[in-house]
Amino acid sequence: MLRFLAILLASLLAGSAARAEPLQLTAADGVKVYGELSRASGAKPPVILAFHQAGSSSAEYAPIAPRLVQAGFTVLAIDQRSGGGAFGGSNRTAAALGREASYDQAMPDLEAALAWATANANGAPVVVWGSSYSAALVFLLAAAHPAEVNGLVAYSPGEYLGKGRAVRDAAHKVEVPVYIDQASSADEVAQSAAILQALKSADKQQLVSRSRSTHGSATLRADANASGAEAHWKAVLKFLTRFNPP
């Protein structure tokens, strides 16, 4: 109980230090993409682009971004056009679009975020971070933009896109450091392992945690995974020191 209260207090303190500011981007097809930008201190902090899971929005990262900022990362979490109101938020991009969008159709939103990071990171590393379906898309993003993406984090990735091997085919081209985390179901572990095996990168790791897990990046949220979140935090923060050494 005391440990949980300590984690909660740390999250609250981090949240007070990292106030998100609204940011609006324009995708290549003209769609307005809404996001929340949480800035780290320092001249050139590395940038994390945080993408949500199905039925969700940037609100998925509301309690996650502050801790990443505390670790020295600027975080841009966007509302992709394929999403909804999970985690108590609203998806402004999907609402403005006014129609259902497939997972694949959200790719221009990720590319708009990457273009923003490329223009604003001042040469600092850029890490793309996906959750569930967006954890599939980030492999395609990294494969298509090898010069702009310096690292990849994927929570519960799988072959969720239109073509059955799209993620593994993209992974064959990804050479940057990759961290994969997934829920504890046998199917998710197997899908993640297949993507990991397909990766061209020599710096790759898959967390198969013995602690409790939740689907997607929500496994880091204490409200979704109170007993297991900290073990997943410890692992991903260790991986991220490649881009922002202590």
- Spans of all domains in the chain: 2-240
Average pLDDT score over residue span 112-124: 98
Q: Which of 38, 64, 48, 170 is nearest to 107 (CA)?
A: 170
pLDDT digits (tens, 9 = 90+) for 77-96: 999 999 999 999 999 999 99
User: Span 101-128, mean pLDDT?
Assistant: 98
Please say if the pLDDT value at position 48 is more than 80.
yes
pLDDT beyond 90 at 232: yes
> The tokens 């109170």 sit on which residue?
226
Q: Are strands 74-78 and 21-26 parallel, antiparallel or unpaired?
A: unpaired
Query: Comparing 4 with 136, which gets the higher pLDDT?
Result: 136
Instruction: Tell whether the model's pLDDT for residue 240 goes beyond 80.
Output: yes
| pLDDT for 6 beyond 60 | no
Q: Could you tell me how far CA 7 lies from the centroid of its own chain?
A: 21
DSSP string, 107-149: HHHHHHHHHHHHHHSTT--EEEEEETHHHHHHHHHHHH-TTT-
Q: Are 98 and 122 in contact (CB under 8 A)?
A: no
pTM: 0.92
Lowest-confidence pick of 4-18, 33-47, 193-207? 4-18
- Tell which CATH architecture fits domain 2-240: 3-Layer(aba) Sandwich (3.40)
Q: How far apart are the C-alpha atoms of 231 and 215, rounded to whole Å?
A: 15
